[in-house]
Amino acid sequence: MKIVISPAKSINLEKKIPTEKSSLPFFLDDAVVINSNLKKKSPLDLSSIMNISSKLSDLNWRRNQEFKIPFNKNNARPAIYAFDGDVYSGIDSYSLNQNKIDIIQERLFIISGLYGLLKPLDLIQPYRLEMGTKFEFNSYKNLYEFWTEKITEKIVSECKPDELLINLASNEYFSAINLGKIKSEIITPKFLDFKNGKLKMISFYAKKARGLMVRFLIDNNITKLEGILKFNLEGYSYSESETNNLNQPVFVR
């Protein structure tokens, strides 16, 4: 089983990292190319391109200027301990048993606008660059044009033909994969909550649930669909009646 998730906009550099293990991104050379183009953008440019406040554009301008290689433990941080959003709250990597770190490193991928595809222990430097950003550089119209072939080929090479590919990423990031080339069966869990008497996908809860699902799959060493359907964290349970397609199992609470 392989799992894909999105990155987070927020970065946390303060918490103590509970492991000495780390790795380098597959596409670090490509990240350097993208960064070299980002460095040319002023804070005002970044604010316009990314639709962010002047405070955030100033912060990310500084990050772009400070980006440097080689990456090491003094200037970079493992991705799973750097991203700090709702999905990562669900994963709660800081409480992950040490004997599960090698498993999550082998099974989990994070799709990234700057780094392309990351493993959990890949060192990253702080950045902000969403995959859907309207960013033209060199001969590329956008990041999808730059990354799709590279990301897809890497996932194909990492997945065995009989392995499941669990999609817990947002549409923005999963769209960076050319699904026509994926040989694995793709499972896309959906998470719904009751609100005002109706089942709805509530973004905040769904994002955390994706992280909870990652943690459940890793903690229980699950590799088959029947194991996925046993997901039961924080009140969620599989709903056969709400599921129309087993490749898109629905979990409700």
**Which residues have a Cβ under 8 Å from the Cβ of 136 and sit 6 or more positions away?**
142
What confidence score (pLDDT) does residue 118 get? Answer: 98
Confidence of residue 11 (pLDDT cuts 50, 70, 90): very high
Q: What is the pTM of this model?
A: 0.97
What confidence score (pLDDT) does residue 26 get? Answer: 97
What confidence score (pLDDT) does residue 197 get? Answer: 87
In this predicted model, what pLDDT tens digit does every residue of 68-99 receive, in sequence order?
Answer: 999 999 999 999 999 999 999 999 999 999 99
Task: Assess whether pLDDT exceeds 90 at residue 161.
Answer: no
In this predicted model, what pLDDT tens digit does every residue of 99-151 receive, in sequence order?
Answer: 999 999 999 999 999 999 999 999 999 999 999 999 999 999 999 999 999 99
